[in-house]
Structure 1
């Protein structure tokens, strides 16, 4: 019986073995080896008002081996066994009573007892030689007590310390007392029940001999596990068959998409290759900018430290110089007045210099003009000389060519005569042919004359046409060259005019800038105070935000990431952690932190927002997230309620940041009440109405009655006493710190801006006179250019008229071209008309040649060759005449041009001489003004020397401070440039990081062994080895390939879906197969283990049974037999017995005494197999005759020295052999006892 209201105190006493035995599979059993080892025995029993025992009654002491309890029927002998059962934790029904209160003694004069108690005094002993000798182990006394009350409850004690049923039974089992199978106890009539057992139980509510032995051996523990394993194995087989069918169906559907999937995969692999190369390229860019960033950052740190060091170092010098600067400014003003006067003189000198520059430009222009005229005159003279030479040469060529023509004609005449002579010699053979040829030649002669005349006219007309065309092309080329020069002059003029406009605007702008910069310098003082105030404000905001962030920095990574998503606008509707959305007094911090762990849940608006949060957390592997959906909370009455003792409700103490959060707080707090202490909490929690109550120190009592919390460590900090003004994310903190740094930077570098502005002002003031000087020179250049443009336009106009051929020349060229064309046509017509005659002549001549042989043919070839030479020379003669005519015309033209150039050259020389005289006069004028300017400069220098002598100390210090300021300004400017570079690097790196983060690798192959790889992150060494240019070219090629490909990518999703379904089904099949195999293996192992363990124990018990029965019956035999030798658990076990001088019989067919002996033999065999230190038997000898009682008694007396036997018996031949007798008797309806040692008949305790 268990009593939850009693705190258990468990006293552990190490169990000691009572006997050591060896089991062997041999047929011959070995005697157990008894070691002298401690064993547990009952010293005595103390009964107080238990059943028939009134008052305190002590039973014992018990003998270490064999004690017999004797007494008349009805005296209370069996109550001794009931007392044992009572202490061992059995129910009242096992002790022949209806309830525990009926165990309390109730007799006349002792009515209404409150309780009854039984104490069993155990100890451990060491057996010594001799039946009564032993040694009690010091400190081994164990007193187990049970006390029952009138309210049917009981308590357990161990050595007078409160304990529990579980602790007591565990303790006794640990000492070897078999409380599970009760082998230590054999009640009256139970010994024969063993013989009534069937081989195997017919149902689960019965016990057979098989089950009885299995309980003893211990293999019954496997039965339930094996049955469950068999059911599980069968279910897994069915489930596997079903899943196998599904896998085959899904596999067939997936394979039908394989071909289209491969095409799409090829496209995606190219995309992945592109992403990999782009990733490498972007990483190269990032690596390059990172190097630049780190380098500039290091320089900035060095410059900043140097700047701060210099400023601190020279602070005293600045203050000292400030006092000296005021006096120095007076000197500077005096010097400025002199500088202004000198500037006026220099302006006059500048004006003269501009005029001098103008004249120099004019001289330069005239020199160029003179040079061009001289060059043109020289060229024309050379051309004239060349053309005159050509005329002379052409005349000589004409004479020579005419002479050669005459010679060829003479050669032709002699060759024709020779040819005629040959023909005359062949006159007989060729006379007819010759006559016919003469006739045809006479016919051809007019045609030949016409052809020659017409061809001469064609050549003349074509030559005249070509000369006219060449002349027109020459004029056109000259005109185009002049136009190009004119265009270049105009472009130069436009550029200079534009520069004049820009300079005028710049001068005007500079004047405005000077005024503006002077005004801005004045405003810098006001701006300084504004920047200072802004810097202080930004710093305060940043510090406030950092303090707020420190309060929430311990929140979970899930919350941090979700709040960042909200701030970035990616997930709207997240309000934050519930505990941060309200406040509660610090007094209730521990209470609310203990009672409401759900305050860490995150509050969102709706289911949709919640789904986005869950998907984000799952996608990024952030773990688990608990959400509260505001739109899903039920509407409740949130008004205050009546509470016991008017204690506050925790929900009513919370101040939500917004009323819409009140339902969320109620959903996690409900009607939890707050008590001052645990006593008040107990009164409220366990009242008529159950309440959930939490104390101020964190002890929580739930409605179920369970208590948690308390202890040395308490929970705090779930809610704050102040409402949060907002949570600052890292991005918000960065913005505030950036604003702070920006304000401080602007304030810190205000003086630098002022100094820079003053430098710019001085530079602008100095630059204005330079721009005015440049403007004057440009105006003179523009004026000179105008004259050049006008001259060039005149020349272009003259050439334009020449470039365009005259109408008469055009008409003449057209007439000549038409004439040449017509004449060629006439020549073709004439030749066509004479062609038949020529063909006839050729035929006849061929016949003559055939008749005349090689000599005639050779002479004919010679004549034809001379004629061809004459014809070619005639053409050459015609061309020479045409060239001579052209050269004669060019001579006339060049004479006219030379006259014109000589006139222009004379005019330029006169203009150049006049300009030289003007330059000389202007130089003399400038000399006087320049002398005056030098004198003014000398005066200024003298004034400056005087000022320097007066203020040498100031100048020296000013030189030092100016050097320092210049260095500071340069460092500040360098810092600005570097910081701007850093900003630019960050912007560029962000750009490439964004592009890099957008790169993803598509899943191409869904096989398990080809999972999608991650984009590689290259080390600096790897990036340095990559050829960036080659990588860019590869990317361009891949992009070109991808742009031309058009795969059907939707098939991948379909294939993936089918493949995932197949893999899921296959995985399910694999899992169920593995589970089936594991279940089968476990099932087989359990069955084998059960069989092996059972058969090992069965063989030992069976052999020991045979020995016991033979010893008890003095010659009989007994065996335990398996009904099914292959499977002992299928049919069970048969207990067969062969009494002395009888045949084999089943135990159920024996007489009562034989059954008792057989059962006792089994009991003793089981004792040898699994000893227990204590045996209590109630009248087991009732059915035995005198002889058998003596046999059993002697066995107990002689063979069971390793256990304590307490036997209730009325048979004298049983109890007379006992080592000690405990007499039980009753007087006045009250049982008493007396202990007797039969060997000495000594009264141990008076009656």
Structure 2
């Protein structure tokens, strides 16, 4: 009965339970039939229930101990859960096996009791059969007497039987027949009941034995699996210890690498400052070179003008190489200056055309070579000679030719001066624009390069990686950075360095957001619009982006985020929803202030 109650009530199985004494526990919970005998079996079942209860308490205590010492690793947690499930299944199987054994023992006892009852009823059956034979003989004798009495008068018959009347004889015969019929009916019922009970007990015994065999096989199989899981658990625990040691070593290496990275970052900053200083010195040197080139060009043009004047005036110059006839008279004296915006020609010393002439200064005195006033003296002498020539009889054709050439020379000199001024102004303007462009670019780049690592760390740091990832920018050309590209590197936390195109979609999204936020921090606008930037992000990264937005938003800097993920828009200050209004066939909006629910 206790087993039936355990199956129907404690285990809540939807079955109809029937005990050996005929008690039926229906699916609805109603109990019918049964008998109140077999006190010894009930006492044994109570002891078994107590033993099972103690076993259950011990297993629950072991389970609580196992829950207290739950492993940290996820794989070990799954293994522990599987181990607990198998242990529970094994406990249930053992309980079912014990229950089956109890049923088998009860069935054996009941069968033994039935055999004892049959043995007790066997003498009664023999006695009843003997009585039946005697009654049959008596009936035969009486029937013979009746037959004889039928031939005689009832009086003679009554006297012979010594009875008062024939009615007494009939009553006696009727009672005997009724008693015989009742005895036969009771005996047949008892035999039929015992046969059915024996058959039912034998069927129950066979079913219980088969179930016991199945439970034994299941218990053996689960015991084998339990041993295997325990060995796997030991192996996984050892592997977990190795992994923890490796993680500790990796964290130590990561600390060393971060320290080395900080040192290299400091060295890089120092190198950048030196590069900026060198760039400024280079710009100054280029300006000096440009000024000197202008002076060289002016002196070269002045020298060419003197050569042409000497040729026109047939002045003999002491030449060690070349001839004045190589000097072109009609050549434009202005030299075009190439203004190549993308090139830089100011660093090279400009060459001036000398037409292959080399002056021989060997005939001059050494004092004249070092005399700083020689030029003034020669100019005075030239002026004196010019005046004397003017007073001489002029050659009309020579004067005409001289006037023409002088006019051309004057125009050429004026044009040359204008060209030099325009060239110098353009070069100065170009250098100023390039300097301003470089300064503006470097100002923005330095700010973004300094900001991006901190932004990327804020977007990637968490409990598993409190330091976050690493991000930095590099210039491909430090001299003129705006003419080349900028290299962006991002290294997610707890991962090795890889190119940007080898990162996953979510990692690329986080890196792109870090770059956008860093660029926006240079000259921030009052609004920042993000259109479904969380599409490729998991819930963890979505929460990190949402926290970053909440931390950096203010009254002067607002984020407008378009998102379909609740884990992002639930952290906003207000929501705006758009839906289609079927009545007016148009779109409408709904707003919700979330600050009222904080």
TM-score range, shorter chain: 0.3 to 0.5
Which structure is larger by alpha-carbon Rg, 1 or 2?
1
In the superposition, the TM-score normalised over structure 1's length comes to 0.17
In the superposition, the TM-score normalised over structure 2's length comes to 0.34
